[in-house]
Structure 1
Amino acid sequence: MSEAVLTSDTNPLTRVKTDNPEKHNSEQFAVNCNVKMFRSDARESLTNEAIDLLQYSLAPATERALRGDLAHFQNWGGTLPATPATVCAYTGDHAGQHAVATIQRRVASISKVHEMAGLPNPCRTEIVKATLRGLRRKHGTVQRQAKPLMRDDLLLVLDSLRESLRDQRDRALLLLGFAGGFRRSELVTLERADIETVRQGLIVTIRRSKTDQEGAGRRIGIPHGRTRHCPVAAVEVWLSASLIDTGPLFRPITRHGHLAANPLTGDAVSVLLRERLSASGIKPEGYSGHSLRAGFATSAAQAGVSTLKIRAMTGHTSDAMLARYVREGELFIGNAAGELL
């Protein structure tokens, strides 16, 4: 009997089938973790209810990343199932051309699809692990990070805003994004119903996030500000001006000043931020939609706020995940050189 191999499907799925290995080179693969991803012997006892649940096992962003990574591997000339030698060659060909983190993520995607299909996983072999260790040692593992938008720079940006509908939206988005330490994906998925006004400020409900794919949700308190730039007041002004009573909280505005019904995209938040930085005289290079979250965490660490309280706002699952922001914020706090020179 020939070996089980992955085959393409008319739907965007991957399944297992007994076939001739010589056909692999011409086949295209896609991925989605549902019933067709698994070997036939594992599917026979599944109920319709279980099959339905499998459709939801991957977050859309994870599925898109897997698709993109596998497409890159195949366009390079890789086939599935892959051999350890092929994965090593793929890693070597891209070393120095792509970020170490990008290569590692793509190898992890190759590993994932083999695991899901119940096939021998080449990425678990020692030769592939050793190749990845060599990649990290030779090319380093430092990742490019978004520059944090620090509190003082944020205030400069806010001072440059006026009172148009677009200005009011951007003021509310920037202040809320910073005060909550939100990811851009969390900001653009907020809806009017997620904002509750209370005496102390606002309660913002994040229904789903990068680290909460199962939708347990969390509630974040946004207190009244102590300066002229108050996040609570900015959101209230935006809601009053936009007349939004349901649906997405932050939306595109046409050049004629009309409010769209759809939400802003994550990329739009990055563009918006860089435009506002440039208009206020700050060079926008290195900033992105993540700069609000990074700026909050770094500014809070610089102000001496405990990591426990910072994590309560940002949703980081551990101090280790927060450490890079804390280190950045404490670079000049108690600096030994400052005591000597």
Structure 2
Amino acid sequence: MPVTGKMSILAPQLQDQIPVVARTTQDFVRSSMAEASQRAFRSDLDQFFAWGGTVPATAGIIADFLAAHATTHKPATLARWTASISKAHRIGGYDSPTSSELVRATMRGIRRTYGSDQRRATPITRANLLAMTGAFTDRPKQVRDKALLLIGFAGGFRRSELVGLDHEDIVLVEEGLIITIRRSKTDQFGEGRKIGIPYGRPTLCPVRAFLAWKALLEHGTGPAFRRIDRHGNISPHRLSGEAVCEVVRQHAVTACLEPSIYSGHSLRAGLATSAARAGVPSWKIRSQTGHASDAMLARYIRDGEMWVGNAAGAVL
């Protein structure tokens, strides 16, 4: 029976679509995607159901859905929606119509008509960071924001990785900080990876910035980056991914930069681009950023030869 309305590998509606699945199996299905991916999946399906789509759907329905949104959404967004619709079919035990020639041809036509270029976040450079943090004081929010910006840049972190850090994931050693990412977009099974954050020059040292922020906290456990209210009170609650974008844009304005071209992803793109320009080999950059391949990393490397050196240490 077709399902309309919200549908997700986490939603009750989907549980009805998995034939005779035990509760523990549903839990494993739920755990097969990172939390951020789960939210994106639900959001994508919400768009489809709000338009009137169902699961299962026909190739014609999906093609009509894509065509209806071709003038208002980027091809990359439509492609992501298509992937989510396909996943919903597979989880529900249905053949996915998204691989049909009709759907493929519709997407090709949309790309040819409206272009396939995806707007990418403008990379933040070392000079940008200097301008953004140069006038910071010892106010809690500015201490936190400096740590957030410098750690985010030096680690080449996705914003979900950055705000997902706990103090227990960050260890101080002689060379700097060792940060453990428990789970990420390219590590769906939670194997984890460790990243070295070296000491930098005093003005832009991510290690010193983080230690200054940590010194303001009553407890050195729990979320590493926390919310702060307008009175300067530090909350025990974790900062959101959206807040990273807000921090970046707020301080872009301070630095007389155009805020609309920057986002939380600008820190990650900035490290990759700056390291490439400094001659850091691509494999070294990938070990810092966690990109799965050089092909994925190539989107952020604008120019520069590749030489041996720590990705963060070479540019800070």
- The residue identity in structure 1 corresponding to 2:155 is G
CA deviation profile, 1:203-254 (whole Å, cap 9, x unmatched): 1111111111221111111111134321111111111233331111111112
Correspondences of 1:187-336 after superposition (within 5 Å): 187-326=162-301, 328-330=302-304
Structure 1 runs of 4+ aligned residues shifted over 4 Å read 46-49
What TM-score do you get using the length of structure 2 for normalisation? 0.89
Cα offset, 1:300, TM superposition: 0.7
Matched, 1:32 2:28: no
- Contact 1:299–1:329 (CA<8 Å) still a contact in 2? no
Query: Aligned-residue CA RMSD in angstroms?
Result: 2.1
Structure 1 counterpart SS, 2:88: helix
Aligned to 1:337: none
Q: 2: distance between equivalents of 1:55 and 1:320?
A: 29
CA deviation profile, 1:160-216 (whole Å, cap 9, x unmatched): 211222221111111111111111111111111111111111111111111112211
Structure 1 counterpart SS, 2:246: helix
Aligned to 1:14: none
Matched, 1:66 2:41: yes
- The structure with the larger Rg is 1
Q: 2: distance between equivalents of 1:288 and 1:137?
A: 27
Aligned to 1:174: 149
- Contact 2:9–2:91 (CA<8 Å) still a contact in 1? no
User: Match for 2:105 among 130, 134, 139?
Assistant: 130
Cα offset, 1:62, TM superposition: 2.7
Aligned to 1:6: 2
CA spacing shift, 1:47–1:30, aligned 2, 3 Å:
closer
Q: 1: distance between equivalents of 2:182 and 2:88?
A: 28
- Contact 1:196–1:204 (CA<8 Å) still a contact in 2? yes
Matched, 1:149 2:124: yes
Unaligned ranges ≥5, structure 1: 8-26, 332-341
- The residue identity in structure 1 corresponding to 2:2 is L
Cα offset, 1:54, TM superposition: 2.8
Percent identity at matched positions?
47
Unaligned ranges ≥5, structure 2: 306-316
- Contact 1:253–1:259 (CA<8 Å) still a contact in 2? yes
Cα offset, 1:273, TM superposition: 1.4
- Contact 2:34–2:183 (CA<8 Å) still a contact in 1? no
Q: 1: distance between equivalents of 2:91 and 2:44?
A: 15
- Contact 1:150–1:299 (CA<8 Å) still a contact in 2? yes
Structure 2 counterpart SS, 1:293: helix
Structure 2 counterpart SS, 1:285: helix
Aligned to 2:313: none
- The residue identity in structure 1 corresponding to 2:263 is S
CA spacing shift, 1:71–1:99, aligned 2, 3 Å:
same
